[in-house]
Amino acid sequence: MIEARRLHILRAVADHRTVTAAAAALYLTPSAVSQQLTALEQETGHRLVERGAKGVRLTPAGEILLGHTNAVLAQLERAEAELAAYGSGEAGTVTVAAFATGIAQVVAPAVARLASRAPGIRIRVQDAEGDASLPMVLDRQVDVAVAVEYRGAPSADDPRLTHVPLYAEPFDAVVPVGHRLADGAEVPLAELAKDPWIGPYPGNPCHDVVVLACESAGFQPRLEHSSDDFRAVVALASADAGVALVPRSALRGMDLTGVVVRPVDGVAPTRRVFAAVRRGAEQHPLIRPVLQALGEAAQA
């Protein structure tokens, strides 16, 4: 008989590619993870993982079992959801991980909606970039992620997750007030090819949006200054340190002294924001109202 908790460990190892990283995500010791993998191999009668200098990879038998693992764990999430519904599920805590502007845009309004509509649901919010929040959901560290599409992100049909689209927003060009393009109604990105750039660090989903937009305009941005805090990005632009692309919602309420904000000429770079939960958990009586409130906040 295969134990479900060992399947969860197998998926964590497949996701993180090393026993040490999987153990850290699951709050276990590496030796405990290794022991559980060995036990799983004994249960199945197959070698499931291969260890190498660069980490761990699944064997063909491990890949077969991983496919079934995703289906089994999703079904267990559905079972928990139905049992919670049977027991009313009117009170409990849901943990939501989201990036800063996502918190301001949809999470905080959703918390306010739930306070009056479902006072028994307590929301705990954690600030996490989109590329960090999805692994947190898969590792059961949080229940819901508000994330951004990015290169390498799990796709909408990933068998481990259920995606709920929330909103899409354009990036605007931010240039110093004395910039040669400051007086135009729109900013052609190609005209910024020789400028120094300010932007998020690689790994931040917004970094991918900026780089892909510039590549589409025919150049690689010369990123001289890096910050994941858009307030810092705008402050550097106001100091004439360079130009930037910033999500429109991140500019709301910000001190824009010293800069000019203009839409991008042509097709604007866009970030697409979605909520994600472990597949099968979307019908949990605690999680379903949270997803509904997030969707309503996004539409508003």
| Local confidence pLDDT in tens for the 300 residues of the chain | 788 888 889 898 888 988 889 889 888 998 898 898 888 888 888 888 888 777 888 999 989 998 888 888 888 888 887 777 666 666 789 999 999 889 999 999 999 999 988 888 899 999 998 778 999 999 999 999 999 987 777 888 899 999 999 999 999 999 999 999 999 999 999 999 999 999 999 888 899 899 999 999 999 999 999 999 999 999 999 999 999 999 998 998 899 999 999 999 988 899 899 999 999 999 898 999 999 999 999 998
Q: Which amino acid is at 214?
A: C
- pTM greater than 0.95: no
Sign of CA dihedral 106, 260, 199, 171: positive
Alpha carbons 228 and 144: distance in angstroms, whole number:
22
C-beta atoms surrounding 269 within 10 Å: 23
Rg (CA), the chain: 22
Residue with tokens 């400051």: 182
